Amino acid sequence: MTSLHLARTPFPEREDRPPSAADAWALRLLSRVRRRLAPPAAREVARLGELLKQRQPELKALDDAGLLAHLRAIARPAVRELQAGPLREALVATAELARRALGMTPYPTQLFGAMTLIRGQLAEMQTGEGKTLTAGIAACLAAVAGLPVHVVTCNDYLAGRDAEKNRALFRAAGLSVGVVAHGVERDERIRAYACDIAYCTNKELVFDYLRDRVALGGRASAAQVRSRRLVGGPQGAPAEPVLRGLHFAIVDEADSIFIDEARTPLILAVQAGDIPHAEAHVQALSLVAGFERDLHFRIDEARRELHLTDAGVKALAEATAGLGGPWTAAHQRGHLGTQALRALHLFQRDEQYLIDAEGKVQIIDEYTGRVLPGRTWEQGLHQMIEAKEGVEFSPQTTTQARITYQRFFCRYLRLSGMSGTAREMAAEFAAVFGLATVTIPTHRPSARVSLPPRLCRDEAAKWAAVADFVAERHRAGQPVLVGTRSVLSSERLGALLQARGLAHRVLNARQDAEEAAIVGEAGRRGAITVATNMAGRGTDISLGEGVHELGGLCVVLTEYHESPRIDRQLVGRSGRQGDPGTAIAIVALDDELLRQHGGHEARLLAWAHAAGAPSVGRLLQRARVAAQNRAERMHERTRRETMRQDHQLDRMTAFSGPQ
């Protein structure tokens, strides 16, 4: 009531009359009262906005060299001591630098986001609010203060794009910037990490760290490393490390890296020579081909686990009697049989992996929808899948070093993160990474329209409904982005649209080279884009001419993901920064999430749907939330177990001494 009253206080617009002293006093008082009444984040944003306005004339009056000298003078104490006053001044000076270099004046919300990062916290900023520039400002200020910065993103495309978007700002601040992506040679990596600011992906960064650790001799101290360099250790002087330490990290899409990807440790593997029992893999596949589910083996779909039953163990022993080789030892026999069954029943082409142009099995990352180049599954599974596909075997590998994201990121002197979807994971961020989550207000209120979800009987009905919906929007000229969960379904839908004469582009792990071009076109009038999770995070789709009037970009979600955050990221491709946008979910009762985690809520939903209930929206919502909660709880347990094992392994090797 009070704030409403204050908002309507009649302060006439100033025309040509300069403000009187009384006007100025009243305005100051009013803004102070407003600030007091606002929640802390909004208050800080208002303060930064006011300071931005206040300082602009004097900062604009400085020439480029003068502005940089001013920033250099105030940056170090601001970043070191983190006092609000000096930090605000330093951020406002960096904002002026950004305005000149990039032609964009950062919003006060972005300055507050950058402040949060500098303070070593996790900034939750809605999708499309400009996290790229926010990270750029924080990185720039920290680097000017002398702190080497790593900006960590979740894929090569974003690392390159974000470095490029902010390059002019860094150049204006006299800072060097490097990019580490897949395929970058060692010498170039060393040069990139030596820059004031290095943009890299989480995977490249952690593997570089593991390689450094192995090269430096495991747990060797700095003194040991120095001595070995001087006099030569058991294996001669260790190689020069690629990284120059872990100082300040800004982790973009933090929930993806800290939570979703934290279920599997990163393992540095070395080739272990030839494939033992190569022919046994092929043999195993044919031996278990006739095994029956629930009789010879059981599958826990939710956990993606497969076990032989007693009947399966017996059948395998009988089938391999007299074969010799690896089949004589019960343990090895069981292992080969289980891996063969997993390759047949849990890993499907164009879902979990694809075969590239060179005929190699390439793993598709479940969360990013991208290929993980050079990665292989462990314990002979990769070779088993190669045998299934009839492609050339790759050599087996053994573990050389391993670490989890949880343990790696805690090694930074200062860690910070950003995400559009972080709030529900705040407790885990605090407990595991020591990160407080701060919600950054939006610059403009969201204008996205969410249409009621549509539920279909089965997958076939769903794709037909999706195609109908896309055709209808396309006729009106509205650009549509359809999100699918696998390469296979993106291509199936593509074929369906093709059959209906609807021109479209498909973006998936197979088409990643054309990513920038496809994204560049996706917001144009009448464009239809079908994409896997690849377009789910970080992708910025600019609206073409006349698209605002048509309601902006329309996002169609065709399957709920186990994590609601991934769904929200996809929906967040539309309605960015107050732009218009539409989102709809068209899903089926036999979708993976409802099938595996749906429980009694999904059964009730199926019953209501079959009975022809007029509106099942509420039931669908309830089933989705319950299923996603179950899946998230299960993944949380996996993460805890991964971390426990990682700590245990670390303790076990703590006394092994330098290698």
Ligand X SMILES: Nc1ncnc2c1ncn2[C@@H]1O[C@H](COP(=O)(O)OP(=O)(O)OP(=O)(O)O)[C@@H](O)[C@H]1O
Evaluate whether 206 touches 403 at the Cβ level (below 8 Å).
Answer: yes
Q: Which of 153, 154, 156, 175 is nearest to 166 (CA)?
A: 175
**Closer residue to ligand X (CB): 404 or 421:** 421
**Closer residue to ligand X (CB): 158 or 455:** 158
What is the nearest approach in angstroms of ligand X to the Cβ of residue 480?
Answer: 18
Evaluate whether 531 touches 511 at the Cβ level (below 8 Å).
Answer: no
Torsions phi, psi of 384, nearest 5? -65, -40
**Burial of 485 per CB tally in 10 Å (0-12, 13-18, 19+):** buried
Evaluate whether 81 touches 101 at the Cβ level (below 8 Å).
Answer: no
At 536, which amino acid appears?
G
What is the nearest approach in angstroms of ligand X to the Cβ of residue 536?
Answer: 9
| Gap between the Cα atoms of 393 and 382, Å rounded | 9
**Closer residue to ligand X (CB): 117 or 643:** 117
Give the strand pairing for 266-271 and 397-403: antiparallel
**Closer residue to ligand X (CB): 283 or 569:** 569
Following DSSP, what letter does each residue of 425-490 receive, concatenated? GHHHHHHHH---EEEPPPSS--EEEEPPPEEESSHHHHHHHHHHHHHHHHHHT--EEEE-SSHHHH
SS (H, E, C) 238-275: CCCCCCCCCCEEEECCHHHHHHHHHHCCEEEEEECCCC
What is the nearest approach in angstroms of ligand X to the Cβ of residue 577?
Answer: 6
Compute the half-sphere exposure of residue 25: CA atoms within 13 Å on the CB side of its CA. 3
What is the nearest approach in angstroms of ligand X to the Cβ of residue 309?
Answer: 46
First CA to last CA across the chain, in angstroms?
69
| Gap between the Cα atoms of 438 and 123, Å rounded | 5
Q: Would you tell me how many other CB atoms lie within 10 Å of the CB of residue 30?
A: 14
**Closer residue to ligand X (CB): 256 or 596:** 256
**Closer residue to ligand X (CB): 207 or 258:** 258
Q: Would you tell me how many other CB atoms lie within 10 Å of the CB of residue 23?
A: 14
Q: Closest-CB residue for ligand X?
A: 130
Give the strand pairing for 248-251 and 149-153: parallel
**Closer residue to ligand X (CB): 571 or 588:** 571
CA dihedral sign of residues 56, 59, 60, 61:
positive
Q: Which helix (H) or strand (E) holds 152?
A: strand 149-153
Residues that bind ligand X (CB under 6 A): 104-107, 110, 125, 127-133, 420, 538, 540, 572, 576-577
| Gap between the Cα atoms of 103 and 515, Å rounded | 26
Q: Is 128 annotated as a binding residue?
A: yes
539-569 CB burial, b ≥16 within 10 A, e <16: bbbebbeebeebbbbbbbbbbbbbbbbbbbb
| Gap between the Cα atoms of 243 and 583, Å rounded | 43
What is the nearest approach in angstroms of ligand X to the Cβ of residue 154?
Answer: 10
CA-to-CA separations, 98 to 137, 416, 501, 611, in angstroms, rounded: 8, 21, 46, 59
Q: Is 539 helix (H, G, I), strand (E, B) or coil?
A: coil
List, in order, residues 6 or more apart from 349 with CB less than 8 Å away.
355, 389, 488
What is the nearest approach in angstroms of ligand X to the Cβ of residue 542?
Answer: 6
**Closer residue to ligand X (CB): 123 or 623:** 123
**Closer residue to ligand X (CB): 130 or 312:** 130
Q: Is 540 annotated as a binding residue?
A: yes
Q: Is 403 helix (H, G, I), strand (E, B) or coil?
A: strand
**Burial of 2 per CB tally in 10 Å (0-12, 13-18, 19+):** exposed
**Burial of 106 per CB tally in 10 Å (0-12, 13-18, 19+):** buried
What is the nearest approach in angstroms of ligand X to the Cβ of residue 390?
Answer: 40
What is the nearest approach in angstroms of ligand X to the Cβ of residue 163?
Answer: 13
**Closer residue to ligand X (CB): 136 or 265:** 136
Q: Is 311 helix (H, G, I), strand (E, B) or coil?
A: helix
What is the nearest approach in angstroms of ligand X to the Cβ of residue 545?
Answer: 16
What is the nearest approach in angstroms of ligand X to the Cβ of residue 543?
Answer: 10
Q: Is 50 annotated as a binding residue?
A: no
**Closer residue to ligand X (CB): 256 or 397:** 256
What is the nearest approach in angstroms of ligand X to the Cβ of residue 560?
Answer: 19
What is the nearest approach in angstroms of ligand X to the Cβ of residue 260?
Answer: 15
**Closer residue to ligand X (CB): 106 or 598:** 106
Q: Would you tell me how many other CB atoms lie within 10 Å of the CB of residue 301?
A: 13
What is the nearest approach in angstroms of ligand X to the Cβ of residue 37?
Answer: 26
**Closer residue to ligand X (CB): 51 or 401:** 51
Known binding-site positions:
110, 128-132, 540
Known binding-site positions for ATP:
110, 128-132, 540
